[in-house]
Amino acid sequence: MSWPVRTRQGAPSIWAFGGGKGGVGKSLVCAGAAVELARRGQKVVVVDADLGAANLHTLLGLLHPTFTLADFFAQRGAELADFCIETGIPGLRLVSGAAAILRAAHPRPAEKRRLVDALARLDADAVLIDLGAGTHYNTLDFFNVVGHRLVVTSPEPTSIQNAYAFLKAAVFRRLELGLAGHDWVQGLLARAVQPRGAERIDSIDELVERLAARDAEVADQAQTLIDEMRPRLIINQAGPREQKRVLGALAVVCRR
């Protein structure tokens, strides 16, 4: 997989690593990718955005980080670069997560926006973000707002199921925010995630069709939001044959 770095405007290329289940090696994959990019001569910042359960510093051999995201949130006007920690690996810096700090685990929308804006101002070729597992709104919002999205899973059936659930939740959260000005759309999205019932919507295609039946322009906006996601999949702990099997299984459920 190629890793584009730095946009034409000079901002870093930002990658988010998400997933629906813990224990699939997401943090290890993110840390490994950061180390490899730095080894290739790139300037890399890796950000532990597993808010409230940070562990990326441990994987990089830093037992007691000098700064964390909690410090960044606490100091208005500060730049994120002020809280980057040298890892000892040439070219690689870390923004450590705020482990076990309840306030930092639930940032307000303005704080999330401030963090996203600060990421784009970092002096780096690439910024890699290790998100928490699951479908918490904080996780989904960070996953949706960056330029490049990676979902990490493993070959186990439960992991595949959770990867699908994560992708579905990310799509619906993206539509919820992107089409927030249309109250009727919010009602339709709420019905779309119902597990049963006469008004249940069984696929993304059916959802877009329902939107088009009411407002073609809104349906076009929704389709654009969906098309722009283009998530990539990393199947950890699997050989080529298992990877092909997992891809096939996910393709089947995603079409439903």
**The model scores a pTM over 0.95:** no
Residue 177's nearest CA partner among 137, 215, 120, 209 is: 137
**pLDDT tens-place string over residues 166-199:** 998 999 999 999 998 888 998 888 877 766 666 6
Q: Are 138 and 170 in contact (CB under 8 A)?
A: no
Residue-by-residue pLDDT tens, the chain, 256 positions:
555 556 556 789 999 999 987 888 899 999 999 999 999 999 999 999 987 678 899 999 998 888 888 899 888 889 999 999 999 999 999 999 866 554 555 778 888 899 999 999 999 999 999 998 888 888 999 999 999 999 999 888 888 888 988 998 999 999 999 998 888 998 888 877 766 666 677 788 888 999 999 999 999 999 999 999 999 989 887 777 888 888 887 777 776 6
DSSP state of 166: H
Residue 41's nearest CA partner among 150, 137, 126 is: 126
Q: Are 42 and 5 in contact (CB under 8 A)?
A: yes
Please give the angle made by the CA atoms of 109, 7 and 225, to the nearest 5 degrees. 50
**pLDDT tens-place string over residues 63-99:** 888 888 889 988 888 999 999 999 999 999 999 986 6
Domains of the chain in start order, with CATH, are: 13-155+231-237 (3.40.50.300)
- The rounded Cα 255 to chain-centroid distance in angstroms is 22
Q: Are 16 and 146 in contact (CB under 8 A)?
A: yes
- The rounded Cα 241 to chain-centroid distance in angstroms is 26
